[in-house]
Structure 1
């Protein structure tokens, strides 16, 4: 599935990049800019960033659930990530208002 239309980045490429970053340091905080920098791309319109954040959270949860890390460490780390999502939020989806209609 195509996540970023501006740079033609697929979901699979983003997932592989996240796993690569987690292999380097399992407790690093991964943000969309870090993923794009690793892919040697730049966010242009940045409308895809909410989807990238959701992919980061999903892949990170799966990565840590398969790892040998202590469960308490994983839960506290993921709670911090979820707190950031609530704080900075996905209130808008791709910068569109709830009443936005295409065409």
Structure 2
């Protein structure tokens, strides 16, 4: 599935980049800018960032559930990530205002 139309980045590419970042340091606080930087891309319209944040959370949860980390460490880390989601993403639909019309 194509996540970023501006840079033609697929969901699989984003997931692979997140896993590579987690392999480097499992407790990285991964944000869309880090993912795009690792892919040697830049956010252009940044409308895809809320979807990238959701992918980061999903992949990070799955990554840590397979690891042998302490359950309390995982919960604490993911709570921090969820707090950032509430602060920076998932409130708007791809950065568009309610009255946005394509045509």
Please say whether Structure 1 and Structure 2 have the same fold, judged by a TM-score greater than 0.5.
yes
Residues 4-45 of structure 1: CA deviation (Å, up to 9, x unaligned)? 001000000000000000000000000000000000000011
In the alignment, the residues of structure 2 paired with residue 26 and residue 68 of structure 1 have an alpha-carbon distance, to the nearest angstrom, of 11
Where does residue 16 of structure 1 map in the other structure? 16
Once superposed, which parts of structure 1, at least 4 consecutive aligned residues long, lie more than 6 Å away? none
Where does residue 30 of structure 1 map in the other structure? 30
Moved more, 91-100 or 80-89: 91-100
Secondary structure at the aligned position of 2:34 is classed as helix
Residues 78-97 of structure 1: CA deviation (Å, up to 9, x unaligned)? 00110111122321111123
In the alignment, the residues of structure 1 paired with residue 19 and residue 89 of structure 2 have an alpha-carbon distance, to the nearest angstrom, of 23
Residues matched between the structures, number: 103
- Structure 2: which 5+ residue stretches go unaligned? none
In the alignment, the residues of structure 1 paired with residue 89 and residue 56 of structure 2 have an alpha-carbon distance, to the nearest angstrom, of 14
With normalisation by structure 2, the TM-score equals: 0.94
- Structure 1: which 5+ residue stretches go unaligned? none
In the alignment, the residues of structure 2 paired with residue 75 and residue 101 of structure 1 have an alpha-carbon distance, to the nearest angstrom, of 40
Where does residue 78 of structure 1 map in the other structure? 78
In the alignment, the residues of structure 2 paired with residue 38 and residue 102 of structure 1 have an alpha-carbon distance, to the nearest angstrom, of 31
Q: How does 1:1-103 map to 2 (within 5 A)?
A: 1-103=1-103
In the alignment, the residues of structure 2 paired with residue 2 and residue 89 of structure 1 have an alpha-carbon distance, to the nearest angstrom, of 19
